[in-house]
Amino acid sequence: MKIVTAVAPVNIAVIKYWGKRDETLILPINDSISCTLATDFMCAKTTIMASPTFTDNKFWLNNEEVDFNNKRLNNCLTEVKKRASPKCADLLNWKIHICSENNFPTAAGLASSAAGYACLVSTLAALYEVEGDISSIARRGSGSACRSIHGGFVWWQKGVQPGGEDSVAVQIAPASHWPEMRMIILVVSDDQKKYSSTSGMKTSVETSELLKYRSEMVVPKRVKEMVEAIKTRNFENFARITMQDSNQFHAVCLDTYPPCFYMNDVSRSVVELVHSYNKYKGATKVAYTCDAGPNVCLYLLEESIDEVVTLINDVFPSSVGPSEYFRGLPVNIKNRGGLQEVLKIKADAPGSLKYIIHTKLGDGPKLSTEKSQHLLTEKGLPHTS
Amino acid sequence: MKIVTAVAPVNIAVIKYWGKRDETLILPINDSISCTLATDFMCAKTTIMASPTFTDNKFWLNNEEVDFNNKRLNNCLTEVKKRASPKCADLLNWKIHICSENNFPTAAGLASSAAGYACLVSTLAALYEVEGDISSIARRGSGSACRSIHGGFVWWQKGVQPGGEDSVAVQIAPASHWPEMRMIILVVSDDQKKYSSTSGMKTSVETSELLKYRSEMVVPKRVKEMVEAIKTRNFENFARITMQDSNQFHAVCLDTYPPCFYMNDVSRSVVELVHSYNKYKGATKVAYTCDAGPNVCLYLLEESIDEVVTLINDVFPSSVGPSEYFRGLPVNIKNRGGLQEVLKIKADAPGSLKYIIHTKLGDGPKLSTEKSQHLLTEKGLPHTS
């Protein structure tokens, strides 16, 4: 028998992926760029065991057994097996047990599928000793998962080949390239109707004329500018493009028929807060970006963290204790109220934010052979947690 | 001395005006189309008196004297005087007193400037006996005011001449062309920060790439389709294009940097309610449109009024009495709850809508020479109301 375990990071796009040109191969209509987050506070973890004694393939997700008959899962498995090392010939005939979990609440609406599939594919690739790029395999599980295969700043190139061989993620720069970069994830309380991003982007491709223009005319320019901003560590440009692209992505969702709404009034208050703060500072010190949900991710440099978190804490008072409200890297709340009054921002109702995660850039998936790390026992069953 | 009084209607766009190519002449970057509302429930009223005995020009707006030195007002006055009838030669040297009011709360954020300037210019044109098109003069007061110069369905053609002589509003069809057409205006309670539409559209023109594409590539097609839908009374197409264009206008506002938000969570709930209702009916029975604020105007045919108003009353319970909540044409609330449960729509908090105006199509400005209609006494002063 053989057992491997990996952890994989979440990534948050600064140039958004929205729209497929091929639904089956998951090929995008435009390039996208993201930052990979440290796995300390948010990550997916997967253990896979292969054994000649297993009678069935099994899959446990967040401590529940789920159907192995999942198209995306099997697409990934098939692609990995195609590229298995000759050394693993026997292994290919063994059944496998997969156990996966996220160390952050999926309820929070934080894209868990990217980390999940990046983790699954990294673990499978280790199991079958696959060589070379695996981002195009992770892409088959969930498009944005290909970006979680690398650390730091990552560029998913849409590619041109019909088979998608060249639709791969490449690293622009490692996390160490810009050590001052920080993210604050604002988890918004929300009871609005949810729109699936898979069906949402399909409807956008079918109905939004603005999406066509965006993907063909706007994104290619922005990708060039963003790569340059990252390479030269130009935060002002990095932040401006990030905000403009987040807004344009949500504009396209609104131009979709029927429209999909992902941001809510709380997300919008955060956006307005960021623009007021930057205006007050006379420079772009903070950027916001929202994905297919109301949560907001702020990008900022370490130097701004304390002032910004203090402002957020004043404008969005918590309805829970500080230890539950502030998660991740430590934050230092300074004298309250001051800046909020200067900016004349009305405080929101307590609890409109569920909690706040302070985190930083991180590396790609990590393998672990250490026994204590495995999510499966020697019998190949989940530890009853 | 000479005294004239006019009332002018509000209009609500179904193809939106957003963006000027000339700020001074108020020339738009694309055509727009609107419906003119009956003056019974919403209108502006203006009385103008000219007298050789007046020592100053004076202006009263909603019972308060305001500065006559208003650029837009004086642009309109200058343009009207240029085209004054020779018969009015003496009159041109007399000072004038202007008294204007709206019969609907301006607080409601319902575009009052369009009705206001259409009324001012109609009254001035009557005073100085101007012949021919006056929509291009009303345009100098407020762009969309040119559309309130006509009744029924109105098309503001952007024109091509640098001086704007051909940027005029023309009638597509009178109100009588589609007598079943109804509107329901949902006045949304709102304490969000307001964005002026004048500065908002200026920023959009400067920063939104999507607006450029919309005005050049999308709107011209939509205008043709909309004119056809109106002429053939094709409600399905009329409604679809109206919703798509409202959404695209707000998409462009979001693509603006910094973004302007006009719709809020209540506006969005209404949009979702309309799509659920149409899906349930298996046909497009209702359309929504939002301007530069959170209020929503629904377009629907008389046959749907009772069912839709009942649904709205269930989903958006009032925090005031029925006589204050339901305004305009009578509505007949049927058995409550039924449809809301079928559509599985959660009721909103009471009071998220301030009130509801049920109205219909109407004619253009009307002159009145009847003494009792004048807002000014024989001395040229407002009636102390």
pLDDT tens per residue, range A170-204: 999 999 999 999 999 999 987 665 778 889 999 99
Could you read off the pLDDT of A214-229 as tens digits, one per residue? 999 999 999 999 999 9
Residues pairing with A356 in the sheet:
A186, A326
Give me the pLDDT at residue B103, please.
83
Question: What average pLDDT is seen over chain A?
Answer: 94
Q: Cβ B254–A251 below 8 Å, yes or no?
A: yes
Residue numbers in B near A218 (CB within 8 A)? 209-210
Amino acid at the residue A194 = K
Chain B interface with A: residues with Cβ < 8 Å: 191-193, 209-210, 213-214, 217-218, 240, 243-244, 247-248, 250-252, 254-259, 261, 264-265, 268, 271-272, 275, 346
Residue B193 confidence (pLDDT) above 80 = no
Give me the pLDDT at residue B94, please.
97
Residue linked to tokens 């298996």: B282
Residue linked to tokens 């009011």: B101
Q: What is the DSSP letter of A216?
A: I
Q: Cβ B209–A217 below 8 Å, yes or no?
A: yes
What gap in Å lies between CA B255 and CA B193, rounded to an integer? 18
Q: What is the DSSP letter of A37?
A: B
Q: Which two tokens stand for residue A319?
A: 């309805």
Q: Which of A191, A244, A268 sits opposite B261 (nearest CB)?
A: A268
φ, ψ for residue A359, nearest 5 deg: -145, -175
The more confidently predicted of residues A155 and A371 is A155
Residues pairing with B5 in the sheet:
B47, B368
Residue numbers in A near B214 (CB within 8 A)? 210
Q: Is B80 exposed, middle or buried (0-12, 13-18, 19+ CB in 10 A)?
A: buried
Portion of chain B with pLDDT greater than 90, in percent: 89
What gap in Å lies between CA B385 and CA B383, rounded to an integer? 6
Residue of B nearest to A269 (CA): B192
Residue numbers in A near B256 (CB within 8 A)? 247
Give me the pLDDT at residue A103, please.
83
Residue numbers in B near A215 (CB within 8 A)? none
Could you read off the pLDDT of A47-84 as tens digits, one per residue? 999 999 999 999 999 889 999 999 999 999 999 999 99
| pLDDT confidence bin for A112, thresholds 50/70/90 | confident
Q: Which of B192, B218, B271 sits opposite A259 (nearest CB)?
A: B271
Q: Which two tokens stand for residue A318?
A: 């918590």
Q: Which two tokens stand for residue A218?
A: 């706007």
φ, ψ for residue B40, nearest 5 deg: -55, -45
Under 8 Å between Cβ of A254 and B251: yes
What gap in Å lies between CA B328 and CA B348, rounded to an integer? 23
Residue B344 confidence (pLDDT) above 60 = yes
Q: Which of B218, B251, B259 sits opposite A252 (nearest CB)?
A: B251
What gap in Å lies between CA B34 and CA B15, rounded to an integer? 7
Could you read off the pLDDT of B289-323 as tens digits, one per residue? 999 999 999 999 999 999 999 999 999 999 999 89
Could you read off the pLDDT of A355-384 as tens digits, one per residue? 999 999 999 999 988 889 999 999 999 987
Q: Cβ B192–A244 below 8 Å, yes or no?
A: no
Read off the pLDDT of each residue in B356-364 and give the average, rounded to a whole number.
Answer: 97
Residue linked to tokens 């253009």: B364
Q: Which of A210, A240, A268 sits opposite B213 (nearest CB)?
A: A210
Residue B92 confidence (pLDDT) above 80 = yes
Residue of B nearest to A248 (CA): B255
Q: What are the residue ranges of helices labelled H in B70-149?
A: 71-82, 113-127, 135-141
What gap in Å lies between CA A80 and CA A156, rounded to an integer? 20
The more confidently predicted of residues B336 and A52 is A52
Q: Which two tokens stand for residue A180?
A: 């001052």
Residue of B nearest to A214 (CA): B210
Could you read off the pLDDT of B238-283 as tens digits, one per residue? 999 999 999 999 999 999 999 999 999 999 999 999 999 999 999 9
Could you read off the pLDDT of B200-220 as tens digits, one per residue? 999 999 999 999 999 999 999
Q: Which two tokens stand for residue B380?
A: 């040229």
Distance from CA of B207 to the nearest CA of A (A): 10
The number of CA neighbours under 13 Å toward the Cβ of B324 is: 9
Q: Cβ B247–A268 below 8 Å, yes or no?
A: no
Q: Which of A244, A258, A346 sits opposite B257 (nearest CB)?
A: A244
Read off the pLDDT of each residue in A267-286 and give the average, rounded to a whole number.
Answer: 97
Residue A107 confidence (pLDDT) above 60 = no
Q: Which long-range contacts (CB under 8 A, 24 or more apart) does A205-209 make?
A: A205/A19, A205/A20, A205/A29, A207/A255, A207/A256, A207/A257, A208/A252, A208/A255, A208/A256, A208/A257, A209/A255, A209/B213, A209/B217, A209/B218
Residue B384 confidence (pLDDT) above 80 = no
What gap in Å lies between CA A70 and CA B158, rounded to an integer? 54
Residues in chain A: 385
Read off the pLDDT of each residue in A127-137 and give the average, rounded to a whole number.
Answer: 97
Residue B190 confidence (pLDDT) above 80 = no
Q: Which of B192, B217, B257 sits opposite A247 (nearest CB)?
A: B257
Q: Cβ B268–A261 below 8 Å, yes or no?
A: yes
Q: How far is CA B26 from the centre of its chain?
A: 16
Q: Cβ B243–A257 below 8 Å, yes or no?
A: yes
Q: Which of A158-172, A316-330, A358-372, B190-204 has the lowest mean pLDDT?
A: B190-204
Amino acid at the residue B245 = D
Residue B136 confidence (pLDDT) above 70 = yes
Give me the pLDDT at residue B302, please.
97
Residue linked to tokens 């850039």: A361
Helix (H) / strand (E) element for B33: namely strand B32-36
Residue numbers in B near A237 (CB within 8 A)? none
Residue numbers in B near A258 (CB within 8 A)? 271, 275
Of A168, A207, A59, nearest in space to A123 by CA? A59
Distance from CA of B279 to the nearest CA of A (A): 11
**Residue of A268, A269, A274, A352 to mutate when probing chain B, most B C-beta within 10 A:** A268
Q: Is B327 exposed, middle or buried (0-12, 13-18, 19+ CB in 10 A)?
A: middle
Residue A231 confidence (pLDDT) above 80 = yes
What gap in Å lies between CA A205 and CA A19, rounded to an integer? 6
Give me the pLDDT at residue B369, please.
82
Residue A337 confidence (pLDDT) above 70 = no
Q: Which of B243, B251, B264 sits opposite A251 (nearest CB)?
A: B251
Residue A311 confidence (pLDDT) above 60 = yes
Map residue A278 onto helix, strand or coil. Answer: helix
Q: What is the DSSP letter of A185?
A: E
Residue numbers in A near B192 (CB within 8 A)? 265, 268
Residue B336 confidence (pLDDT) above 80 = no
Residue numbers in B near A271 (CB within 8 A)? 258-259, 261
Q: Cβ A255–B248 below 8 Å, yes or no?
A: yes
Under 8 Å between Cβ of B146 and B168: yes
3-state helix, strand, coil in chain A (%, to 5): 40, 25, 35
Residue B153 confidence (pLDDT) above 70 = yes
Q: Which long-range contacts (CB under 8 A, 24 or more apart) does A270-275 make?
A: A270/A186, A270/A296, A270/A298, A271/A243, A271/A296, A271/B258, A271/B259, A271/B261, A272/A345, A272/B193, A272/B261, A273/A311, A273/A312, A273/A315, A273/A343, A273/A345, A274/A243, A274/A298, A275/B258
Chain A interface with B: residues with Cβ < 8 Å: 191-193, 209-210, 213-214, 217-218, 240, 243-244, 247-248, 250-252, 254-259, 261, 264-265, 268, 271-272, 275, 346
What gap in Å lies between CA A130 and CA A151, rounded to an integer? 19
CB pairs under 8 A between A and B: 77
Distance from CA of A78 to the nearest CA of B (A): 40
Residue of A nearest to B345 (CA): A193
Residue numbers in A near B210 (CB within 8 A)? 210, 213-214, 218, 248, 251, 255
What gap in Å lies between CA A261 and CA A154, rounded to an integer? 27
Q: Which two tokens stand for residue B32?
A: 């727009």
Q: Are strands A58-61 and B11-15 parallel, antiparallel or unpaired?
A: unpaired
Question: What average pLDDT is seen over chain B?
Answer: 94
φ, ψ for residue B292, nearest 5 deg: -80, 60
Q: Are strands A2-9 and A43-51 parallel, antiparallel or unpaired?
A: antiparallel
Q: Which two tokens stand for residue A105?
A: 């609440």
Q: Cβ A209–B193 below 8 Å, yes or no?
A: no
